[in-house]
């Protein structure tokens, strides 16, 4: 087992380090590991898995939200969002850096995926932040951290999957994720403010104080994006659109705003579409690679074996959680978040429940682990998206994300010591 795990990790790191394109490196590592250790029709497993991943029902929102983001960027609607926000954030330490966190939190209420959130919010915020002279590292790091909120704040695809597998209420889980999600967003903003105060060079000079006229004008600039967000959330909550369809509402809404503002032309539409195709191609190849590698690791029996080793140790409840956190951190380095949940749950859930933890609480714990795996190198899905957005190397992005990962770990500690943070809202809703 340790041999197979070691070989898989070595192959992934070796191929990535040799400069093979990320998705292809994961596919190659998976293909070779299977050939080495298992006697199966690898070609057919590969084809069947790529076909299943490419047509997974959970993914439909991803290209749509990316398209929505590109339309907002190409029609310059996103630019007016920033000009509208600038006078309001000038008094908070960190100023517009908070837009990543606020934007991602709001976007999380719309989307159930964290890749879509990172790609959409980052596409809008990163160019604006960099051109305004904000520090690239903290801009990338806050996007990496906040982009993962899509999992923790409902709706959330991994939560739906967990709820079905673990036999808990999806509503309870959605409620349970909300408070920790908001706390996490608050912690991120606190950290950004702290960094901005201690290192003023991270943030450009403060804009001159605004007049009332400016403030009123800025509200007008915020109106288009605000109404778009309301449109998408509203269509979902009022039962007009499913979660998937809400993404299409976002696209049509962005097109309508572009038409009303007369910035949408056949040319900007075509450019938005091509940019979407380019981003989707990048994400698509990495996605099939990450998902295939996850299946390979499952077929090598790695997650189940490690989990049963942990079970054999007979740990105290608190130590068990610490060890599980380390276990999920390790798995998360090479697996995507959803896969870690699906593969390990049959083994870890019974151990955790036997130790006296509530399955709803464990769901939130797992979702945070899944978020961490999205931003932990060498295989961190959101890292690749940010890498493409900011023209940095993956290691630079990972380093920038590190403080935000530590904050996530801190949140895990917090909910372990005070499980009420998780259980309070679902309990209140039941009364």
Site string for Na ion, 323-342 (x = CB under 5 A): ---------xx---------
- Running DSSP on this structure, what letter comes out for residue 206? P
Residue 32, sorted as left (phi over 0), alpha (psi -120 to 50) or beta, turns out to be alpha
Report if residue 108 touches Na ion, rule: CB under 5 A: yes
Among 36, 41, 76, 200, binds another protein (CB under 8 A): 41
Tell me phi and psi for residue 325, to 5 degrees. -60, -45
Q: How far is the CB of 58 from Na ion (least distance, A)?
A: 13
Q: Which one of Na ion, another protein, none is in contact with 200 (Cβ closer than 5 to 8 A by kind)?
A: none
Tell me the torsion sign for CA atoms 277, 105, 160, 349. positive
Report if residue 103 touches Na ion, rule: CB under 5 A: no
Report if residue 245 touches another protein, rule: CB under 8 A: yes
279: CB partners within 8 A, 6+ apart: 66, 70, 119, 123, 388
State the number of binding residues for Na ion (CB under 5 A): 10
Distance CA 382, CA 388 (A): 10
Q: How far is the CB of 136 from another protein (least distance, A)?
A: 11
Q: How far is the CB of 159 from Na ion (least distance, A)?
A: 8
Looking at the Cβ atoms of 110 and 202, the one nearer to Na ion is 110
Among 11, 77, 143, 157, binds another protein (CB under 8 A): 157
Distance CA 219, CA 81 (A): 9
Report if residue 345 touches another protein, rule: CB under 8 A: yes
Looking at the Cβ atoms of 108 and 148, the one nearer to Na ion is 108
Which residue has tokens 């995507």?
336
Tell me phi and psi for residue 135, to 5 degrees. -65, 130
Distance CA 60, CA 68 (A): 13
Say whether 20 sits in a helix, a strand or coil.
coil
Distance CA 258, CA 217 (A): 19
How many CB atoms are closer than 10 A to CB 409? 15
Site string for another protein, 2-21 (x = CB under 8 A): --------------xxxxxx
Site string for another protein, 392-421 (x = CB under 8 A): -xxx--------------------------
Q: Which one of another protein, Na ion, none is in contact with 228 (Cβ closer than 5 to 8 A by kind)?
A: none
Contact (Cβ atoms closer than 8 angstroms) between residue 26 and residue 291: no
Single out the segment in contact with another protein by CB under 8 A; choices: 45-53, 142-150, 202-210, 212-220. Answer: 45-53
Distance CA 343, CA 348 (A): 10
Q: Which one of Na ion, another protein, none is in contact with 27 (Cβ closer than 5 to 8 A by kind)?
A: another protein
Distance CA 203, CA 193 (A): 10
Among 8, 161, 203, 293, binds another protein (CB under 8 A): 161
Report if residue 52 touches another protein, rule: CB under 8 A: yes
Of residues 171-230, those binding another protein (CB under 8 A): 171
Report if residue 258 touches Na ion, rule: CB under 5 A: no
Of residues 135-194, those binding Na ion (CB under 5 A): 150, 153, 156
Of residues 385-424, those binding Na ion (CB under 5 A): none
The residue of the chain with the least Cβ separation from Na ion equals 376
Among 373, 390, 412, 416, binds another protein (CB under 8 A): 390
Distance CA 426, CA 397 (A): 35
Distance CA 375, CA 357 (A): 27
State the number of binding residues for another protein (CB under 8 A): 110
How many CB atoms are closer than 10 A to CB 211? 10
Question: Which residue ranges make up the site for Na ion (CB under 5 A)?
Answer: 108, 150, 153, 156, 332-333, 373, 376, 379-380
């Amino acid at each position: 087992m340790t041999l197979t795990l070691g070989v898989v990790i070595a192959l992934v790191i070796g191929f990535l380090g040799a400069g093979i394109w990320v998705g292809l490196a994961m596919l190659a590592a998976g293909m070779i590991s299977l050939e080495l250790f298992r006697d199966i029709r690898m070609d057919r497993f590969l084809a069947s898995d790529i076909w299943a991943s490419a047509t997974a029902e959970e993914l439909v929102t991803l290209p749509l939200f990316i398209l929505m983001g590109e339309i907002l960027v190409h029609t310059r609607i996103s630019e007016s969002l920033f000009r509208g926000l600038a006078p309001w954030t000038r008094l908070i330490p960190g100023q517009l850096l908070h837009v990543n966190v606020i934007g991602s939190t709001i976007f999380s209420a719309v989307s159930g995926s964290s890749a879509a959130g990172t790609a959409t919010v980052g596409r809008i915020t990163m160019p604006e932040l960099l051109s305004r002279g904000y520090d690239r590292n903290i801009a990338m790091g806050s996007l990496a951290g906040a982009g993962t909120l899509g999992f923790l704040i409902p709706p959330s695809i991994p939560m739906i999957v967990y709820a079905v597998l673990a036999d808990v209420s999806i509503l309870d889980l959605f409620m349970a994720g909300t408070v920790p999600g908001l706390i996490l967003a608050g912690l991120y903003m606190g950290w950004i403010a702290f960094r901005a105060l201690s290192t003023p060079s991270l943030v450009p000079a403060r804009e001159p104080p605004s007049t009332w006229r400016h403030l009123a004008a800025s509200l007008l600039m915020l109106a288009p994006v605000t109404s778009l967000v309301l449109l998408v959330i509203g269509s979902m909550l009022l039962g007009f659109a499913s979660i998937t369809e809400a993404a299409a509402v976002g696209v049509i809404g962005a097109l309508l705003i572009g038409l009303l503002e007369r910035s949408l032309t056949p040319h900007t539409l075509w450019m938005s579409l091509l940019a979407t195709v380019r981003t989707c191609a990048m994400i698509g190849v990495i996605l099939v690679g990450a998902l295939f590698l996850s299946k390979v690791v499952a077929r090598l029996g790695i997650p189940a074996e490690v989990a049963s080793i942990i079970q054999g140790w007979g740990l105290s409840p608190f130590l068990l959680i610490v060890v599980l956190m380390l276990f999920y951190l390790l798995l998360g380095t090479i697996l995507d978040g959803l896969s870690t949940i699906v593969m390990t749950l049959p083994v870890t859930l019974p151990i955790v429940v036997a130790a006296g933890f509530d399955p709803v609480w464990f769901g939130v714990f797992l979702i945070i682990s899944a978020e961490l795996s999205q931003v932990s190198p060498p295989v961190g899905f959101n890292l690749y998206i940010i890498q493409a957005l900011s023209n940095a190397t993956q290691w630079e992005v990972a380093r920038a994300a590190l403080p935000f990962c530590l904050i996530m770990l801190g949140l895990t500690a917090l909910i372990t010591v005070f499980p009420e943070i998780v259980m309070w809202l679902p309990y209140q809703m039941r009364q």
